[in-house]
A and B are shown apart, each in its own frame.
Chain A
C-alpha cells in the first residue's frame, strides 16, 4: 500500500517530500508523488515546471524507492485528487506540507491542506518546514 505525498515546490513541499521518502523507505512501500493544478489562473507557482520535474525525478531515482509522479492539470482541486488517489490505491498514509500559522499562510495553503485532513480515509501526516 503506497505512501502518497502532495508536492509543491516550496520549503513546506520539500519538507513533506523528505518526510514521505523516509516513511516510504521504513515501510518498504511505493511512493506516489502528486503535483497538480486546476490551471484556472495563468500562473500557478505550486505547479512544477519541466526543469523542476527533472530534478525531482533525479532525486527520487537516487533514493532507490519505487515511485511514481502524477503531474497533471485537472479541473479538480489538488486536494481532491490526492484524496481520491489514496482511496483508489488503498494508501497507508498521505503526507502534506503545511505552513506555519501566519495569516497569509493560512489563507493560501489552508484550504487545500484542510480538505485533505478532513476528507482522507487514511492517516495524514502534516509536515512543517524547518525553521
Chain B
C-alpha cells in the first residue's frame, strides 16, 4: 500500500496552482497537437525541450506527461471527424469512428472515445502507481549483467516488433548506436568518430538528434508529399451517449485497458499492436459483428481505451528501468536527462516526490482532458483549418530554436539539417525512427554496464551471463528473434501458395490500416 500513500502525497503536491497550471497547459497543447496532422507528442516534446532550461523539473515533467496523454485524446477527435487515416494509435478508431460520424452518430463516437480514454487512463495510472514500486523492488537488485540484458532485450524488441521489416529496424538501431559512439570513450578517454572536429568531441547532443529526427525529418518528409486534397470534417451529430451506447461500451473500455497497459509496458512499439488486438477482439466478441465496418461503437470504445492505457503502461519501464518503449517515452527520458536525472530504479528513491507528483498529475490531467475534449471536440477540429504552410514553417522555426539554444552554436543547426536529411531518407526507405533514438539513448549506458560487468569477471565473457535473470532475458531475446521465423513457416504452410503470405496481407480494412500504421508518435 506504500504506492497509494505516496500517491496521496503526490496528489497534494500536484494540486498547487502552478503545477495545475502546467498540467493544464500540457493537456491543452497535447490535445491541439493530437488534432493537428503532422505533429505528434514526440515531436512536440522535442520542440519544447528548451523550456527545461528555466522551468523547474516538476513542472516541465508534469507538462510533458499531460502532453503525452493529451495527444491520445486529440488523435481520436481527428480520426472520428476526418475522412483520412490518423496517427498510428488512432487508426483503429478511424475505421469505425468515421463511419459512425458519417451515419450521424459522431457525438456518440466522440463520447465513447473520450470517456473510454478517461476510464482506461485512470485505471491504468492506478496500475502504474501500484506496479511501479514492485518493479523497482526487483530492479534495484539487478546487477550490471542483468541491466545489459534488459537493454539488449529493449533493442531487439523495439526493432523486431516495429515496422514491417526487421532488417530495416536493425539498420535504424545501428545508425543510432553509431551516432552514440561519437565523442569521448568514457573509459579510455580517447576520441571516437570525431574526425578531428572540435564540436564533435563532446558527442552530438541527443536533443539535437531528437529534434532532427522527429521534427526536421518529419517536416521535410511531409513537405515532399503534402496531401493536396483537403479532407472533410464530418459534422458532429446525434445524441452524446444513450443507455445502449453505454452498455455496449463499458466492456470494451475495460478490455481495452487490460490489453493496452501490458503492451505499453513492454518495448513493443507503443499503441499500434494493442489497438489492433483490441479492435479484432471486439469484433469477435460483439453481439452485432455485422455492424463492424459500418460504425460499431465497440470498435471505437476498445481501441481508444487501449491507446490511453498503453500510454500509461509505457511509463512503467520509463520510470522504473529508464527504458523507453515509444518515441514519446524516449523524448521524455531526454527531458529527465537535461535535468541530470536518470530514470531508473533509483529514481523512486532519489526523486520519490517528483515521481509521485508526476503520477498524481497524470490523474488530474486525465480528468481535465475529459472536460476539455468532450464538450469542445468541434472546436478542436477547427484547428484543422490552420493553413499548413504556417504550421510547418513554425515547426522548422522552433526546431532551429531548440537546436541553437542547446549550445548557442550554428554547428548544431547544420547537424540538425544533416540529421534531418537522414530522418527524411529513413522515412523514404522504410527505416523506423524509434530504434535509432532508443539506440542512441540506451547504447552509451549499455556500454557502461557491459564494461562494469566484464571488469568484475576480469574480462571473461561469462561475466555477462552469470546470473539467472540475465540468462532468462537472453532466452527471451532468442525467442523474440527466432519465433517470427517459425511462425511464418507455420503460417506459410497453412496458407495456400497463391494467396498473400504473412501478416501484412491486406485482406480486410482493419489489416490494411494496421500495415500503414508505422508512424508512432512522430
Contacts and interface: CB of A to CB of B under 8 A. Distances in A.
Interface of A: 37, 39-45, 47, 49, 73
A47 B388 contact: no
19 contacts: A37-B229, A39-B227, A41-B384, A41-B385, A41-B386, A42-B227, A42-B230, A42-B384, A42-B386, A42-B388, A43-B82, A43-B230, A43-B232, A43-B381, A43-B384, A44-B231, A44-B232, A44-B385, A73-B229
How would you classify the secondary structure of chain A's contact residues: helix, strand, loop or mixed?
loop
Nearest to B390: A40
A49 B230 CA distance: 9
Given A47-B229, A47-B232, A49-B232, A41 B388 contact: yes
A73 B229 CA distance: 6
Nearest to B102: A51
A40 B233 contact: no
Interface in B369-424: 381, 384-389
Nearest to A73: B228
A39 B389 CA distance: 10
A71 to B, nearest CB: 10
A41 B383 CA distance: 9
B232 A40 contact: no
Contact of A39 (B36, B229, B233, B381): B229
B229 to A, nearest CB: 6
A50 B56 CA distance: 51
A12 to B, nearest CB: 16
Interface residues of B, number: 18
Closest 5 CB pairs of A and B: A44-B230, A43-B384, A40-B387, A73-B228, A39-B228
A123 B381 CA distance: 37
Contact of A49 (B37, B83, B385, B387): B83
A44 B385 CA distance: 7
Contacts of A41: 230, 384-388
Contacts of B229: 37, 39, 47, 73
B389 A40 contact: yes
A25 B388 CA distance: 41
Nearest to A39: B228
A43 B81 CA distance: 10
A43 B388 contact: no
Nearest to B382: A43
Interface in B261-309: none
B232 A42 contact: no
B222 to A, nearest CB: 11
Given A40-B388, A43-B230, A73-B228, 9 more contacts: A39-B229, A40-B389, A42-B36, A42-B388, A43-B381, A45-B232, A47-B230, A47-B232, A49-B83
Contacts of B389: 40
Contacts of B388: 40-42
Contacts of A39: 227-230
A40 B82 CA distance: 16
A69 to B, nearest CB: 15
Nearest to A9: B232
Contacts of B386: 41-42
A47 B84 CA distance: 14
B233 A45 contact: yes
Which of B36, B37, B385 has most chain A Cβ within 10 Å? B385
Interface string B335-350: 0000000000000000
Interface string B463-491: 00000000000000000000000000000
A32 B283 CA distance: 46
A13 B486 CA distance: 59
